[in-house]
């Protein structure tokens, strides 16, 4: 009976899908860019940035205006909105996430005034980094080896449990052996978690050191290659934030900024991605891949990209 009902239900759904397709029903047509404002909401908000939500919203408002006032300058209605703050129903989540990136920014802010115009500080940091990296490689080798051993032991244990469940389960000696294996696995896992904690702490230290080295090399204009972080990505090359759209929704994560103006530029850049804009080639533009410019307004490159997106002549 259930199979007959299911078959009938499939036929009905197929019929409605076909009719809906013919009539243009049930098909979600994409909303043209710039026709409806994108609603946003503040999501995760880490207080370690020493920033109030009020100040964060103020920076967001300034970032919005960079785009909206540009549209107004193109002769559109003064009430035109591209974004709107909706604390209850916002679709775009904007998160403030504190990690090693902001720690590096704060540390560099403290030492910047005492850096001498030579390479001594850089090379001291480089030596410390190489020592940490060597320790990391050694620790990772040990960790990976223990993981492989644990996986083998766990596989053997699971096979033994399977054999036990398929047997008469009356062999006390076999049961005791399985129980001993289970307890041994627990001890292995506990040791591995301790090693994992040490590993993660070392990764954080190395990533902070990498940030400091790369920043100092730029400050001192040294002709050296940049170091890469370990086990962590800086995400979008416009350092400080990243826009993501996936099956879980749309969001902007902000990781790093040194002052209000830099925060506004990072937010404006990621809001541009939320609109649908890609990177442009102008180094001073908001939508350039790196946050190198100082302009507080959109450049002509940004405007041209926005006009093209919004189909403005």
pLDDT number for residue 178: 87
CB 286 within 8 A of CB 299: yes
Our measurement of the distance from residue 309's CA atom to the centroid of its chain's CA atoms, rounded to an integer in Å, reads: 25
Angle at 139 between CA 208 and CA 144, to 5 degrees: 115
Please tell me the total count of domains within the chain: 2
Q: What is the pLDDT of residues 220-244, one digit of tens each?
A: 777 777 777 665 433 334 457 888 8
pLDDT bin (cut points 50, 70, 90) of residue 109 is low
Q: What is the pLDDT of residues 135-176, one digit of tens each?
A: 888 888 888 888 889 888 888 888 888 888 888 888 888 888
pLDDT number for residue 107: 58
Alpha carbon distances (Å) from 187 to 39, 154, 184, 311: 50, 12, 5, 63
Largest CA distance in the chain: 86
Q: What is the pLDDT of residues 4-13, one digit of tens each?
A: 333 333 333 3
Q: What is the pLDDT of residues 37-71, one digit of tens each?
A: 999 999 988 888 888 989 999 999 999 998 888 77
Percent of the chain with pLDDT over 70: 76
In a domain, 31, yes or no: no
- The residue among 201 and 101 whose pLDDT is bigger is 201
- Going by C-alpha positions, the residue among 102, 112, 94 that lies closest to residue 48 is 102
The C-alpha atoms of residue 144 and residue 139 are separated, in whole angstroms, by: 9
**Are residues 89 and 125 both part of a single domain?**
no
Residues 6+ apart with CB under 8 A from 32: 311
**Are residues 74 and 160 both part of a single domain?**
no
In a domain, 16, yes or no: no
pLDDT number for residue 116: 47
| Backbone φ, ψ for residue 161 (5° rounding) | -65, -40
pLDDT number for residue 258: 74
Average pLDDT over residues 19-40: 60
What burial letters (b/e) apply to 106-141, b meaning 16+ CB within 10 Å? eebeeeeeeeeeeeebbeebbeebeebbeebeeebe
**Are residues 239 and 299 both part of a single domain?**
yes
Taking each helix axis from N to C terminus, what angle separates 260-275 and 53-73, rounded to the nearest 10 degrees?
60
Our measurement of the distance from residue 130's CA atom to the centroid of its chain's CA atoms, rounded to an integer in Å, reads: 27
Q: Residue 182 sits in which domain range?
A: 119-219
CB 109 within 8 A of CB 50: no
The C-alpha atoms of residue 93 and residue 166 are separated, in whole angstroms, by: 50
**Are residues 123 and 212 both part of a single domain?**
yes
Domain boundary among 175, 197, 219: 219
- CATH number of the domain to which 48 belongs: 3.40.390.10
Classified as helix, coil or strand, 245 is: strand
Q: What is the overall mean pLDDT for the chain? A: 76
CA dihedral of residues 186, 190, 193, 198 (deg, nearest 10): -160
Alpha carbon distances (Å) from 129 to 206, 225, 308: 7, 14, 46
In a domain, 212, yes or no: yes
Domain boundary among 197, 219, 241: 219
The C-alpha atoms of residue 230 and residue 208 are separated, in whole angstroms, by: 10
- The residue among 173 and 120 whose pLDDT is bigger is 173
pLDDT bin (cut points 50, 70, 90) of residue 296 is confident
pLDDT number for residue 32: 67
User: Residue with structure tokens 């060597």?
Assistant: 134
In a domain, 112, yes or no: no
């Amino acid at each position: 009976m259930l199979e007959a009902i299911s078959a009938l239900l499939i036929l009905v759904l197929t019929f409605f899908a076909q009719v809906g397709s013919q009539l243009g029903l049930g098909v979600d047509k994409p909303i043209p860019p710039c026709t409806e404002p994108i609603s946003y909401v503040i999501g995760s908000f880490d207080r370690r940035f020493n920033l109030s939500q009020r100040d964060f919203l103020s920076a967001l408002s300034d970032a919005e205006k960079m785009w909206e006032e540009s549209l107004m300058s193109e002769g559109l209605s003064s009430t035109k909105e591209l974004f709107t703050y909706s604390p209850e129903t916002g679709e775009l989540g904007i998160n403030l996430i504190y990690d090693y990136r902001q720690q590096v920014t704060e540390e560099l802010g403290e030492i910047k005034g005492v850096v001498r115009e030579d390479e001594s500080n850089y090379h001291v940091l480089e030596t410390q980094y190489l020592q940490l990296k060597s320790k990391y490689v050694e620790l990772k080798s040990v960790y990976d080896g223990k993981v492989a051993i644990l996986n083998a032991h766990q596989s053997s244990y699971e096979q033994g449990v399977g054999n036990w469940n398929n047997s008469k389960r009356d062999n006390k000696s076999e049961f005791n052996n399985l129980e001993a294996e289970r307890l041994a696995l627990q001890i292995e896992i506990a040791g591995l978690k301790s090693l994992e904690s040490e590993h993660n702490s070392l990764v954080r230290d190395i990533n902070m050191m990498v940030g400091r080295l790369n920043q100092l090399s730029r400050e001192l204009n040294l002709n050296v290659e940049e170091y890469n972080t370990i086990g962590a990505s800086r995400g979008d090359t416009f350092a400080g934030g990243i826009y993501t759209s996936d099956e879980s929704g749309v969001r902007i994560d902000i990781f790093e900024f040194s002052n209000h103006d830099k925060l506004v530029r990072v937010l404006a850049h990621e809001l541009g991605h939320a609109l649908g804009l890609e990177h442009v080639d102008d180094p001073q533009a908001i939508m350039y891949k790196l946050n190198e410019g100082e302009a507080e307004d959109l450049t002509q490159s940004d405007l041209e990209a926005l006009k093209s997106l919004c189909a403005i002549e």
